[in-house]
């Protein structure tokens, strides 16, 4: 890799981290139920797509976990454990794939592929 490639690779990795941290702390806590889950997934995708360098994003919220955590009013709050996120960020020629998924009971943010 030449310097410019190193630079865009590192910037892409950094930007991927920013997006995942932002998404998580902006939207966890949102009231959510089986009825409203689709609109929340979609709005999170559309919101984060606005941010620089985002190529694509898929947000899935675990409906089973919502069901298990419903309070007596029929809803719960979005938590990191419910989130499955696949994100692609592109800077220059480098595409970074990263996401959020639950590993060992912890919502882990991780790089999955760089190309």
- Residue 114 lies near a copy of itself (rule: CB under 8 A): yes
- The phi-psi region of residue 22 (left if phi > 0; otherwise alpha if psi is between -120 and 50; otherwise beta) is alpha
- What's the order of all strands across the beta sheet hosting 106-114? 54-61, 83-91, 94-103, 106-114
Among 59, 67, 94, 111, binds a copy of itself (CB under 8 A): 111
List the one residue from 77, 92, 112, 115 that touches a copy of itself (CB under 8 A).
77
- 43 token code pair: 């709005």
CA 86/CA 23 separation, integer angstroms: 12
Among 4, 5, 26, 67, binds a copy of itself (CB under 8 A): 26
Query: Interface with a copy of itself includes 92 (CB under 8 A)?
Result: no
The answer to whether residue 85 forms part of the interface with a copy of itself (CB under 8 A) is no
Q: Of 4, 5, 29, 112, which lies in the binding site for a copy of itself, with binding defined by CB under 8 A?
A: 29
Does residue 30 bind a copy of itself (CB under 8 A)?
yes
Q: How far from the centroid of its chain's Cα atoms is residue 43's Cα?
A: 12
- The reply on whether position 97 binds a copy of itself by CB under 8 A is no
């Amino acid at each position: 890799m030449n310097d410019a490639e190193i630079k865009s690779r590192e910037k892409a990795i950094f930007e991927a981290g920013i997006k995942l941290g932002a998404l998580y702390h902006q939207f966890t806590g949102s009231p959510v139920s089986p009825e409203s889950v689709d609109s929340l997934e979609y709005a999170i995708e559309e919101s984060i797509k606005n941010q620089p360098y985002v190529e694509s994003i898929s947000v899935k919220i675990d409906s089973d976990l919502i069901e298990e955590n419903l309070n007596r009013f029929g809803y719960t709050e979005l938590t990191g454990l419910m989130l499955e996120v696949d994100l692609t960020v592109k800077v220059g020629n480098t595409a970074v794939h990263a996401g959020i998924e639950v590993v060992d009971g912890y919502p882990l943010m991780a790089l999955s592929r760089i190309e």
